[in-house]
A = this chain, B = another copy of it.
């Protein structure tokens, strides 16, 4: 069954104020992670035109590969996503070395390195309208602070998930969604 990621992102001018509002809805904090994402272009598709993305993500815990399909929906960012864990490809285990071996493989297949996106992500969960919504406060190198809300859904549940995400965002005072990915924002800046 395809899994869709319904997510919405907002710029944050005042992180402390947002944290206070999250406390007001009893957000449960569960960790901080540094994520370094290496994005790739496709050998024959223009991912900017097809609205897809392929990345290798490195954290302290390991390395993942992620494909994001085209957004299905203009308001909330709903897209099909396939994310798979990569085994350590170096001895001794080293996420940077594994990332480099995978970059070699993707480049051999004609994918091209586009850009890296580095962020510090703080994760929380909020119980809202009967479901648990994932909340991430991101500090993105070169871009600043954002908050992202996310729910996973199957095809039949996308509309309801988007309604729930928007309702929580409004309640927290987030009113001006940012439709672009961090990668797109960085490429636009350049």
CA distance A108 to B82 in the complex (A): 9
**A18-62 residues at the B interface, CB under 8 angstroms:** 42-45, 54, 62
Residue pair A101, B89 in contact (C-beta under 8 Å): no
Which chain B residue shows the least CB distance to A89?
Answer: B84
Main secondary structure of the interface of A (DSSP, over half): mixed
Partner of A54, one of B45, B82, B109: B109
- Supposing A44-B44, A45-B110 touch, asked if A105 and B85 sit within 8 A by C-beta, the answer is no
CA distance A102 to B109 in the complex (A): 16
Residues of B within 8 Å of A89, CB to CB, are 84-85
Does A86 touch B at the CB level, under 8 Å?
yes
**A80-94 residues at the B interface, CB under 8 angstroms:** 80, 82, 84-89
CA distance A109 to B52 in the complex (A): 9
Does A177 touch B at the CB level, under 8 Å?
no
**A56-88 residues at the B interface, CB under 8 angstroms:** 62, 65, 67, 69, 80, 82, 84-88
Partner of A87, one of B44, B45, B86, B104: B86
CA distance A54 to B108 in the complex (A): 10
CA distance A51 to B88 in the complex (A): 28
CA distance A89 to B88 in the complex (A): 14
**A95-123 residues at the B interface, CB under 8 angstroms:** 101-102, 104-105, 108-110
20 further A-B contacts with Cβ under 8 Å, apart from A45-B110, A82-B108, are A42-B43, A42-B109, A42-B110, A43-B43, A44-B110, A54-B109, A62-B87, A65-B105, A67-B105, A67-B108, A67-B109, A82-B101, A82-B104, A82-B105, A84-B86, A84-B87, A84-B89, A85-B88, A86-B86, A86-B87
